[in-house]
Each structure stands twice: as C-alpha cells, then as structure tokens.
Amino acid sequence: MVLLYTCSNTNVNSQKVALDHQSLNKEENGSCVFKVINNDVVKYIFTIDIFHSDTTSLKSIFKTCPNIKVVKEKGVYDDIEYINFVFETPSVYVKFFKNNEGLYIDKALIKGDEIKLYKNSTIGMCKRDFCKLFSLEDTSCDTIIVVDEDQTLSLNFIFNQKYLKQLEIKASE
C-alpha cells in the first residue's frame, strides 16, 4: 500500500505514515485531502467483485431493495452502445456500466447505510474507527481518497468533523 497525502495538520515526515507524497489541493478553510493507493479496497468497496457480477449479485449488496433503471448510452470515446444500470435508494445512487469485458462502477453517491461496504464500514462511523479498519494512520484531514494502482476509480470518503458523512465514487475519464 502506498500512502499519499498533504495536510497542514498532519506530520508529513512520519516514516510510518507515508511512503510517497503528492501535493493535493487544499481549500482556504484549512481542509485537506489524504490519498491512499489500495487495490483491494477499490475492488471490493461493495464487498463483491463488481467486474464479474450481474444484476442479481448487485442487488444482494443492498440492505433494502433498490430501484433499478437500465439505460443504453453511446460511449464517450467510441460509438459503441453500453448498458448502464442505475441502482437507487433514498440515500444511495450507484451507476454501473457494462461492456463486453465486464461490469464497472461509473459513479456513486452514498449518504446512508443501505449498501454493504468494504469490511463493514458504514456512513456515520467514527473517523478513528475508519482509519483503524482500513489500516491507516488517523488523520485530521476531512477527505480520504482511496484509488486503485492505475487510478481508474476514486473513492472519496468525506468526513464531517469526526464522522463519515458520505462516500463519492468516480471513474476516471
């Protein structure tokens, strides 16, 4: 695992915390971003391997039955038609897309605990417990970004003071 972070409130010289550093944008209010590369967290964020899944297994990651929409769209970089699956509950929005290789997460916004997450992490959990669960050094940063090695998917864990407020997932373009 490689840890990348910037934060005015974090000890950047700690050998235990960082193997590599990357400058990330800092907002004027002093908030900061802590960035981590971890393929397992990205691959299993919804507790299953999404790439090899189907709609039945995707439904199983939800604690309450989601509304499902199937939408066909043309690709951004090609003229191929892709099938998109949008799963929604009152506090969860997840959009997957399928091509001839497999299923991918396109984007998601999770503000509640209606979906199973990696290692039983949940919206509303304490940041200290989150860092412990993900084997991270506790940080004062309000956003923890977890990306895969190729940085094709970004998991943005956003904290409000001491608690996980929401998870935003975005595929790189």
Q: What's 115's DSSP letter?
A: B
Write down the pLDDT at residue 160: 93
Report the 10 Å Cβ neighbour count for 106: 17
Least confident range from 11-25, 51-65, 115-129: namely: 11-25
Query: Does the pLDDT of residue 163 top 90, yes or no?
Result: yes
Q: Is 68 helix (H, G, I), strand (E, B) or coil?
A: strand
Write down the pLDDT at residue 78: 78
The mean pLDDT value of the chain amounts to 82
Write down the pLDDT at residue 31: 64
* More confident site: 105 or 139: 105
Rounded mean pLDDT, 60-69 = 94
